[in-house]
Amino acid sequence: MHRFSVPDAELAWAFSDESGHPVVQLHGLTSSRSRDRLLDLDLGRGLSDTRLLRYDARGHGHSSGRPVPEDYRWANLADDLLRLLDFWFPDEAVHGVGPSMGTATLLHAAVREPDRFSGFTLLLPPTAWATRTARADDYRRLADLVETEGVEPFLALDRVAPKPPATLGHPDTVPHVRGELLPSVLRGAALSDLPAPELLERIDLPTTVLAWIDDPAHPLSTAEALVDLLPQAVLQVAHTPEDVRRWPGVLAADIARHTA
pLDDT band at residue 1, thresholds of 50, 70 and 90? confident
pLDDT tens figures, 98-111: 999 999 999 999 99
pLDDT value of position 234: 98
- The H-or-E segment that residue 226 falls in is helix 220-229
In this structure, what DSSP letter does residue 211 have?
A: E
What is the rounded average pLDDT of the residues 203-209?
97
Of the candidate ranges 2-16, 37-51, 178-192, the one whose mean pLDDT is the lowest:
37-51
- Ramachandran region, residue 129 (left: φ > 0; alpha: ψ -120 to 50; beta: rest): left
Q: Is 165 exposed, middle or buried, given 0-12, 13-18 or 19+ CB atoms closer than 10 A? A: middle
Residue 197 pLDDT greater than 80, yes or no: yes
pLDDT value of position 108: 98
**Helix 74-88 to helix 101-112 angle, to the nearest 10 degrees?**
70
What's the rounded Cα separation, in Å, for the pair 234 and 226? Answer: 9
pLDDT band at residue 39, thresholds of 50, 70 and 90? very high
Tally the domains of the chain: 1
**pTM recorded for the entire structure:** 0.97
pLDDT tens figures, 148-162: 999 999 999 988 888
Instruction: Please report, for residues 32, 48, 89, 90, the alpha-carbon distance to residue 73 in angstroms, rounded to integers and kept in the order given.
Output: 17, 32, 24, 25
Residue 43 pLDDT greater than 70, yes or no: yes
What is the rounded average pLDDT of the residues 235-250?
97
What's the rounded Cα separation, in Å, for the pair 22 and 15? Answer: 10
Q: How many CA atoms lie within 13 A of 91 on its CB side?
A: 0
Residue 21 pLDDT greater than 70, yes or no: yes
Instruction: Please report, for residues 17, 176, 206, 246, the alpha-carbon distance to residue 47 in angstroms, rounded to integers and kept in the order given.
Output: 11, 24, 19, 13
Amino acid at 106: L
| Contact call for residues 33 and 27 (beta carbons, < 8 A) | yes
Radius of gyration of the chain (CA): 17
Domain limits at 172?
3-259
Domain at 137, CATH number: 3.40.50.1820
What is the rounded average pLDDT of the residues 213-222?
96
pLDDT value of position 161: 86
Residue 260 pLDDT greater than 70, yes or no: no
Paired strand residues for 234: 208
Residue 86 pLDDT greater than 90, yes or no: yes
CA angle in degrees (0–180, nearest 5) for 241-190-67: 105
Paired strand residues for 241: none
pLDDT value of position 128: 98
pLDDT band at residue 113, thresholds of 50, 70 and 90? very high
What's the rounded Cα separation, in Å, for the pair 118 and 218? Answer: 25
State whether residue 23 is helix, strand or coil.
strand
pLDDT band at residue 32, thresholds of 50, 70 and 90? very high
